Amino acid sequence: MEFRDLKKQYAALKQDIDQAMTEVAASGAFIMGGAVKELEHELAQYVGVKHCLTCANGTDALTLALKALGIGKGDAVFVPDFTFFASAEVVSLEGATPVFVDVDPRTFNMDAKSLDDAIRSVHDNMTLRPKAVIAVDLFGLPADFTTLRTITKREGMYLIEDGAQGFGGSVKLPKPDGEGFDVHRACSFGDIATTSFFPAKPLGCYGDGGAVFTNNDEWAALIESYRVHGKGSYKYDNVRIGLNSRLDTLQAAILRVKFKAFKEHELADVNRFAEYYTQLISGMTRFIKKEILITPPYIPEGYTSSWAQYTVQLSVPSGNGTFNREVLQAKLKAKGIPTMVYYPTPMSAQTAFKELHSFALTPNASRLSKSVLSLPMHPYLTREEIRMVAEQLISNI
């Protein structure tokens, strides 16, 4: 069994993917070929925003967003302490300062109360300007953007959605007139949102890729310039310092095939599998007498995850038992079940950030980094495999 089975996916989509790749090779249009614009149009339409600009990877997508918003030296950018390194790395790379905020213990996403505390602490310290929040849709679950937006509005800050794992997730929100609900897709929530097409993400390509989403014409034009060496009226008129960050036509062509499968059944499949995992794990946990508590992922009412990861929490409720996560992983591995720990180190504990001043306590991020375990999750699993993983998890704990 694979943690995320990309070979099975290729076998299922082989004919269309091979044809798409051959067409690009025959066209010779490897950079900014037709498939790039077509993909951007399809993604923008699906997400429900005006502009989608693809780029070389999800990290560059965040960098392009920060550049478009003019974020740099002296700016505080609030980032969840429990995330992939890139969410915070880009802030430092642009000369701004990441401020780590704790996460909600159930959703793993940025905690609004902790954000408020961190902002107050930055104001009191008076060395940095609170400028933006990068909220991450961790493991595929959209962050609490309604609450976060209230805070960024009050503070006059930008809100950036790091949707690298969130693409395909959604939130049901009341319509502006109060009559009924609208479904809002991930990557439509911030002033600017970003995603990644790294192979293991919910929508992955066959290498690196990423995209930026925004409704703002001015920022879209800036990103278009920044991604091609800060071009002006044309490629050899350079009006600002930029990047070389484009999505290859080959990757765009592959993504168009995979996006079709994603919409047709993959997203629905992972949601069914997640439900089955949760049903099995909750059912079995009631019957085990051991001192370990297994908590399945929590999806708030009205939210849908894209299930970038299916992550359980393993905890010792009495507080006096010991539990070794590596031993459990080794036992599962011996049964042919791969598991992963996302993420073993909170951002505030990363060596690269050791010089940073701490503006907020992040106890939930610390606890989660020691207690989480991600199980195999992808659209080409079988129900038998999921049952096997759940049974082995319970019996080896």
Ligand X SMILES: *Cc1c(COP(=O)(O)O)cnc(C)c1O
Asked if residue 372 binds ligand X (CB under 6 A), the reply is no
Asked if residue 33 binds ligand X (CB under 6 A), the reply is no
Asked if residue 94 binds ligand X (CB under 6 A), the reply is no
- CA 350, 311, 304, 107 dihedral sign is negative
Interaction mask 208-227, ligand X, x per CB under 6 A: x-x-----------------
Asked if residue 165 binds ligand X (CB under 6 A), the reply is yes
Report the C-alpha gap between 343 and 82 in whole angstroms: 7
For residue 204, the minimal CB distance to ligand X (Å) is 9
Name the nearest CA neighbour of 368 among 105, 155, 141, 185: 105
- Exactly one of 9, 43, 58, 228 binds ligand X (CB under 6 A); that residue is 58
- Exactly one of 86, 118, 143, 254 binds ligand X (CB under 6 A); that residue is 86
Size of the chain, expressed as the number of residues it contains: 397
For residue 322, the minimal CB distance to ligand X (Å) is 31
- Exactly one of 75, 162, 248, 266 binds ligand X (CB under 6 A); that residue is 162
- Exactly one of 54, 63, 87, 371 binds ligand X (CB under 6 A); that residue is 87
Provide the phi-psi class of 18: left if phi over 0, else alpha when psi is between -120 and 50, else beta: alpha
Size of the site for ligand X (CB under 6 A): 15
- Exactly one of 100, 167, 189, 198 binds ligand X (CB under 6 A); that residue is 198
For residue 249, the minimal CB distance to ligand X (Å) is 18
Asked if residue 59 binds ligand X (CB under 6 A), the reply is yes
Identify which range of 15-23, 52-60, 69-77, 246-254 contacts ligand X by CB under 6 A: 52-60
- Exactly one of 65, 91, 164, 365 binds ligand X (CB under 6 A); that residue is 164
For residue 374, the minimal CB distance to ligand X (Å) is 12
Asked if residue 305 binds ligand X (CB under 6 A), the reply is no
The answer to whether the CB of 166 falls within 8 A of the CB of 307 is no
Report the C-alpha gap between 378 and 376 in whole angstroms: 7
Place of tokens 């159930």: 106
Asked if residue 309 binds ligand X (CB under 6 A), the reply is no
114 vs 165 by CB, closer to ligand X:
165
What phi and psi, each to the nearest 5 degrees, are found at residue 174? Answer: -60, 140
Identify which range of 23-31, 39-47, 80-88, 115-123 contacts ligand X by CB under 6 A: 80-88
198 vs 359 by CB, closer to ligand X:
198
Asked if residue 369 binds ligand X (CB under 6 A), the reply is no
Asked if residue 83 binds ligand X (CB under 6 A), the reply is yes
The answer to whether the CB of 303 falls within 8 A of the CB of 169 is yes
Report the C-alpha gap between 349 and 358 in whole angstroms: 10
130 vs 202 by CB, closer to ligand X:
202
Footprint on this chain of ligand X (rule: CB under 6 A): 57-59, 83-84, 86-87, 136, 162, 164-165, 196, 198, 208, 210
